Amino acid sequence: MEIDLVTNKRLISYHSFFDTALNKLHAEQRYRIFTDIERRVGEFPKAFCHTNKKIEEIVIWCSNDYLGMGQHPEIICALTKAAVKYGAGAGGTRNISGNSHAIVSLEKELADLHHKEAALVFTSGYVSNQTGISTIARLIPDCLILSDAANHNSMIEGVRQFGCDKEIFRHNDLKHLEELLRKYAERPKMIVFESIYSMDGDVAPIHAICDLAEKYHALTYIDEVHAVGMYGNRGGGVADRDRAMERLDIIEGTLGKAFGVMGGYIAAKRNIIDAVRSFAPGFIFTTALSPALAEAAVASIRYLKNSSGERARQQAQVQKTKDALHAAGIPVMKTDTHIIPVMIGNAEACKAASERLLHTHHIYIQPINYPTVPKNTERLRITPSPFHTDEMIKQLVEALMEVWEYLDLQFEAGKRTA
């Protein structure tokens, strides 16, 4: 507290609160630094990094633009044509003046992608989860949410906003899930889970969860944000690949990862979508996605429905990267997906590894620290794309081997895990 020398009253030092919070982040090695990156069309995964008044070429190995569709000529053409035709913005919320024909077309495309009656587009995948989960559950009297322990923060916030009863089942633990379903057999229930968990790269047992949902009469809500575009014959996600889409009640996805644009959505039966459209504050009171972005998303979805080349190439480069890292002795968590977690297990070491990769080897991989992952499981998260060449893979492995030697010199035994 500060003292006003004139009145002798205590003053609240507001700025000290923010300084204290930030200092705590720095002390815990959790302060996030956003690297200044300049992506250029036609050069992905290469980009330019702006640091200390210098511009250096780097290779991005942690992008969620998984297939490089954000720089695809057809998507850029659709975006620019729509911007010239419709302008930059949506004009308002959809219930006032922002319900563009482009966004209506996008919702039809998404409903078709997931074999659902209807879809609803939001400004981000975070908003679609946060708003979708809370609104759906709130419209069901006495609803109980059963949420996987590893669910994304957007899903957790959706459950919190629901504000009613919830149970957390152990990650991908069918036995625990059934125990909870049996305990609440007479109540309306919704099981909320992901298809691919973005930090560990593991996959949910979708059919088994659907079996339990049918047995105990529960709704299913699946997050496919790290799967749409990349799995299934048409890019509908893991549920598409595993022929489970018709068994799921609500499918949530994003337009900002494999589709390379921006936005989120849910797809379901028409009455569910209509109810969310009519009651969700996070939809009603926010400006709509711009027509240009909607047109770009339509172009990307249509392209990936008919082209499997990007998916095949990505899967090939993912496997090559995994094999090369494993052969080099780099501690890679085993996954069956495109996500490759390289485990470090210490926040300070993880940050140091990321910085050395960037400044010494011109390789960009952001450190993943708490609260994104539990403490002592800090990691580098690698996501190969179809455009990472064999030579880039070789350079990545060599760089990580050098970084591992550097960490061994800088951090005493036992301070990080390997």
Would you name the residues annotated as active-site residues?
257
Residue 180 burial (10 A CB sphere; 0-12, 13-18, 19+): buried
Which residue in the block uniquely carries the two structure tokens 């625990």?
Answer: 176
- Retrieve residue 108's tokens: 């039809």
What residue type is 73 in one-letter code? P
Alpha helices in 194-290 (DSSP H): 206-215, 238-241, 270-279, 281-284
DSSP state of 261: S
Element at 256 (helix H, strand E): none
Amino acid at 27: A
Helix (H, G, I), strand (E, B) or coil at 116: coil
Query: Is residue 228 left, alpha or beta, with left meaning phi > 0 and alpha meaning psi from -120 to 50?
Result: beta
Tell which residue, 235, 233, 234, 271, has the closest CA to residue 250.
271
CB 151 within 8 A of CB 194: yes
